[in-house]
């Protein structure tokens, strides 16, 4: 693979919530234009990592570079300048329920640009067209289905033509067909608009379908990074267990009989 510009660089990222270490020295490099998937079990720190990359959480130590700027110490207006260049699709869609679908998508444009209203309207129609929801501008978020909300969230994320889009569990809680639709959208958006995509998920089917590269996160550390092919043929037992979704393996929810007995009897 040719050497491409690095747009996201995470170095030795550590995050502690009280005594609990959620991220324990994460290192990542994501290049321009690729679809990068961060996968891992529930509670392994995927979403926390994502929130550090977009600057919503501050690390205990380590640093995050986004689009060539170190955002670790940035606050307020400086951070906002970087944020205007990224888009984020939330797990729960996070549409503003007091606004219509159209207003949700146009909000970043109305607030951050000086475009005329009719131009903004055209742009909103275009963005909604991209996610297949043209004509739904005047509905409220409470009037549309979960899958549609996800797509509106996506349209809002791409409203400002971002250079990077982040997806937090884009297919969680959707039926298989809708999940496939969203997966196709993610791939389409990165190809059509040649944007970098960072997807956090544990949906293995979707991971293998969309990823250029995959990072497996486990217990606050990156276990392995590679193409879907490399990950599929990984020698690492934990990675194998995760992609096969098998019960037996290094990740165990049950203790050994003796340990359990000992714990019970003290």
Partner 1 sequence: MRNPIAVTGETALDLIRQVRGILALFGNTLWWIVVGPFKGKTAGRQSIFQQMVFAGVQSVVIVFFISLFTGIVIAMQSAYQLKQLGAVIYVAPMVSISMARELGPVFVALVVAGRVGSAIAAELGTMKVSEQIEALETIALDPVRFLVVPRFLALLIMMPCLTVMADMVGILGGLIVGVFNLQINMYRYLSFSFDLMEFKDVWTGLIKSVVFGTAISMIACYVGLDTRGGAEGVGKATTMSVVISFIMIILIDCVLTGVFFFSEM
Q: In the complex, what is the shortest distance from the CB of residue 236 to partner 1, in angstroms, rounded to a whole number? A: 33
Nearest in space to 82 (alpha carbons), one of 27, 21, 153, 164: 164
Rule CB under 8 A: which of 214-243 touch partner 1? none
Is residue 84 a contact point for partner 1 (CB under 8 A)?
A: yes
Is residue 91 a contact point for partner 1 (CB under 8 A)?
A: yes
**Using CB under 8 A, which of 156, 202, 213, 218 touches partner 1?**
156
**Using CB under 8 A, which of 108, 147, 170, 220 touches partner 1?**
108
Decide whether 90 or 242 has the Cβ nearer to partner 1: 90
Nearest in space to 105 (alpha carbons), one of 143, 161, 53, 153: 153
CB 98 within 8 A of CB 138: no
Rounded-to-integer distance, Cα 98 and Cα 121, Å: 19
Q: In the complex, what is the shortest distance from the CB of residue 99 to partner 1, in angstroms, rounded to a whole number? A: 10
Q: Interface with partner 1 by CB under 8 A: which range of 4-12, 27-35, 107-115, 203-211?
A: 107-115
Q: In the complex, what is the shortest distance from the CB of residue 103 to partner 1, in angstroms, rounded to a whole number? A: 11
Sign for the pseudo-dihedral over CA of 248, 249, 253, 257: positive
Nearest in space to 141 (alpha carbons), one of 76, 68, 71, 92: 92
By CB atoms closer than 10 A (0-12, 13-18, 19+), residue 40 is: buried
Is residue 111 a contact point for partner 1 (CB under 8 A)?
A: yes
Strand order in the sheet with 6-17: 20-31, 6-17, 61-66, 69-70
Q: In the complex, what is the shortest distance from the CB of residue 187 to partner 1, in angstroms, rounded to a whole number? A: 22
Decide whether 86 or 131 has the Cβ nearer to partner 1: 86
Q: In the complex, what is the shortest distance from the CB of residue 115 to partner 1, in angstroms, rounded to a whole number? A: 16
Is residue 19 a contact point for partner 1 (CB under 8 A)?
A: no
**Using CB under 8 A, which of 7, 10, 86, 207 touches partner 1?**
86
Calculate ∠ Cα 91-96-102, nearest 5°. 105
CB 219 within 8 A of CB 41: no
Site residues (vs partner 1, CB under 8 A): 51, 54, 56, 76, 79-81, 83-84, 86, 88, 90-92, 94-98, 107-108, 111-112, 156, 160
């Amino acid at each position: 693979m040719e050497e491409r510009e690095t747009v996201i660089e995470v170095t030795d990222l550590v995050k502690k919530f009280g005594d609990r270490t959620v991220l324990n020295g994460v290192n990542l490099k994501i290049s321009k234009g690729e679809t990068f998937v961060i996968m891992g079990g529930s509670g392994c720190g995927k979403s926390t990592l994502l929130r550090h990359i977009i600057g919503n959480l501050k690390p205990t130590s380590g640093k995050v570079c986004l689009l060539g700027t170190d955002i670790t110490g940035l606050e307020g207006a400086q951070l906002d300048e970087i944020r205007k260049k990224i888009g984020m699709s939330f797990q729960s869609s996070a549409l503003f329920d007091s606004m219509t679908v159209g207003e949700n998508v146009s909000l970043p444009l109305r607030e951050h640009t000086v475009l005329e209203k009719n131009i903004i309207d055209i742009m909103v129609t275009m963005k909604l067209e991209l996610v297949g929801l043209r004509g739904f501008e005047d509905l409220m978020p409470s009037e549309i289905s979960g899958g549609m909300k996800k797509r509106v969230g996506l349209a809002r994320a791409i409203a400002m033509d971002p250079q990077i889009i982040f997806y937090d569990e884009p297919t969680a809680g959707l039926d298989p067909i809708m999940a496939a639709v969203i997966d196709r959208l993610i791939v389409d958006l990165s190809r059509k608009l040649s944007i970098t995509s960072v997807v956090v998920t544990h949906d293995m089917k979707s991971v293998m379908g969309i990823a250029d590269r995959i990072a497996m996160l486990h217990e606050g550390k990156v276990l392995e990074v590679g193409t879907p092919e490399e990950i599929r043929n990984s020698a690492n037992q934990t990675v194998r267990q995760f992609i096969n979704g098998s019960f037996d393996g290094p990740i165990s929810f049950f203790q050994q009989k003796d340990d359990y007995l000992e714990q019970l009897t003290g």
